[in-house]
Amino acid sequence: MENGKLLRTILAPHWWDLSPWEAKTFITIFWFADPATGELAISLYSLSQKVNSLTRDLLPWLEKLKLRGLIDIAPGPNPLLESRFKILSGKSPVSEMEAGQKNEEIEYLPLDPEETPLPVNGNDPGSGNGRSLKGAVPAGNATVPVGPKRGDRDEITKSGTLTAESIARSLNDLENIALYEAYLKRYPEEIIRKAYRDVQQTPPEKIKKSAGAYFTFLVKKYGG
């Protein structure tokens, strides 16, 4: 199953019970988790940077996701330095009141190892107090927004079509579509994909300017 479809399947029963920031936190963990095991070892500080939030704000969102059977959390000796998260199937949705009485086993759900993950960008995944349905894709009986604000990694996959727009949307850099179009005409596709993957695998705190600027630097570096 493609990871985009897997994500929508997991989130669909919970979508209207999660705040925009709770949903964004789950999607961030999902994208960065190991494709084979669904596990992610990361400090709370680094995770908060990827979600673009404060560490203290992150804690209640993680607890909500755990209560709803979406993630498992195994804190290290110092959670600020490292915690271990595991993506769960979320097939047994529970409310906060029911969570304390929940005894059934939750199925662990590995991710698809064939796809290269794209992280969520720094934008709020929803707008206002509700959800924007622009660009939504049906998932069962629910509708889950998966537009570019959610950092949808279906924009670029190993087998997908690479376009200037897909690059710009994934890098949150739509004003430079023309520049990326020029790169696609000038450089081999493998150069573009290598630069893109390196941007996605670089921690946000190590990118000095922007993802788009770093991508441009790498394309020129690899392209000679």
Higher-confidence residue: 161 or 13? 13
Same-domain check for residues 112 and 44: yes
Torsion sign over Cα 190, 196, 201, 206: positive
Quick: pLDDT tens for 198-212. Answer: 888 888 778 888 888
Same domain? 114 vs 176: no
Same domain? 180 vs 203: yes
Q: Residue 142's beta-bridge partner residues?
A: 139
- Domain span at residue 95 reads 3-118+140-151
45 shares a domain with 8:
yes
70 and 108 belong to one structural domain: yes
For the chain, the average pLDDT equals: 69
Per-residue model confidence (pLDDT) at position 133: 30
Residue 28 lies in a domain: yes
Answer yes or no: is 135 within a domain. Answer: no
Of 165 and 99, which is predicted with more confidence? Answer: 165
pLDDT in the model for residue 219: 92
Token pair for 104: 């059934």
Q: For residues 121 and 207, is the Cβ–Cβ distance under 8 A?
A: no
Q: Is residue 146 part of a domain?
A: yes
Same domain, 114 and 197: no
Domain assignment of residue 132, yes or no: no
Q: Are residues 178 and 146 in the same domain?
A: no
**Residue 123's pLDDT is what?**
39
Q: The tokens of 22 are what?
A: 């709770």
- Report d(CA 145, CA 121) in Å as an integer: 15
The letter for the amino acid at 188 is P
What does the pLDDT average to over 101-123?
38
- The pTM assigned to this predicted structure is 0.42
Residue 126 placed within a domain: no
| 198 plus 216 within the same structural domain | yes
Give the count of beta carbons closer than 10 Å to the beta carbon of residue 131: 18
- Could you tell me if residue 166 is inside a domain? yes
Confidence check: pLDDT of 214 > 50: yes
Contact 161, 174 (CB under 8 A): no
List, for residues 166-177, the tens digit of each pLDDT value.
Answer: 888 878 888 888
Structural domain count, the chain: 2
171 and 216 together in one domain = yes
What does R_g of the chain's alpha carbons equal in angstroms? 18
The structure tokens 């670029």 sit at 156
- 12 falls within a domain: yes
Question: Does residue 134 form part of some domain?
Answer: no
Whose CA is closest to 199, among 184, 212, 181, 209?
212
Is the pLDDT reported for residue 3 higher than 80?
Answer: no
Tens of pLDDT along 77-93? 665 667 888 888 754 44
141 pLDDT exceeds 70?
no
